[in-house]
Structure 1
């Protein structure tokens, strides 16, 4: 399928006129909502230098939250939401991202290039799906934000 190149500008409008969200361009596997089992996202991502405060991957959904995991790029470093460091120095190179969500066990594990980088509890039950792309954070965003994705796969053990 080639490379999916997604970008937004800080002054772009939300995806709907009635939405209060930040600008975004993202891929969601439409047919793939899940509520149990073990699910894995795999994709090769690339974030150009200068993209900052942009969500590049997420697990959307949770009982009392809009998301279970947000992986956000800040100055070349990947962070869980805006806090815990997941990986460093990811600008301008392809990296393999794997996110494993064990719904029944209530955990999420993140791998970069085959190495476990982060593990956390999820944010409770819900209807979940994986997304990747570029989605501006609420503050301190770069004017231009971009991510590229290729070889996206979803795996499951039911």
Structure 2
């Protein structure tokens, strides 16, 4: 799987650890930054990863910031993206199986790296199952398109 990773300065070290871990699992990684501990605003990174998913440059994304909340909100602003904030393996699995979330987000100040690795692994080994969930996701996507049509440039 080709994964896009991104973080702000609060989560740079976690992103680097996750990058190494997913490469060890055999996945290809595209690093969207940040590239050091200097202050970086997370919205730009989240938008880049979200756009890369929509443009099919990557299969899924993993974003981390201090809490995981900001990157989830920012990535979710990219039309068509479903970003899920997960700090446990069950939520990570359900994010994919039930919600077809293309982006996993986590908080580096909320969970430790070993837990983050477990969450990432649960997310990556899960696949969207469709069924009743497919109908619900379609409703979300339809409403998103309805909202977008009402937006004036």
TM-score normalised by the chain length of structure 2: 0.30
Greater fraction of residues in helix: 2
Greater fraction of residues in strand: 1
Relative contact order (C-alpha < 8 Å, sep 6+): which is higher? 1
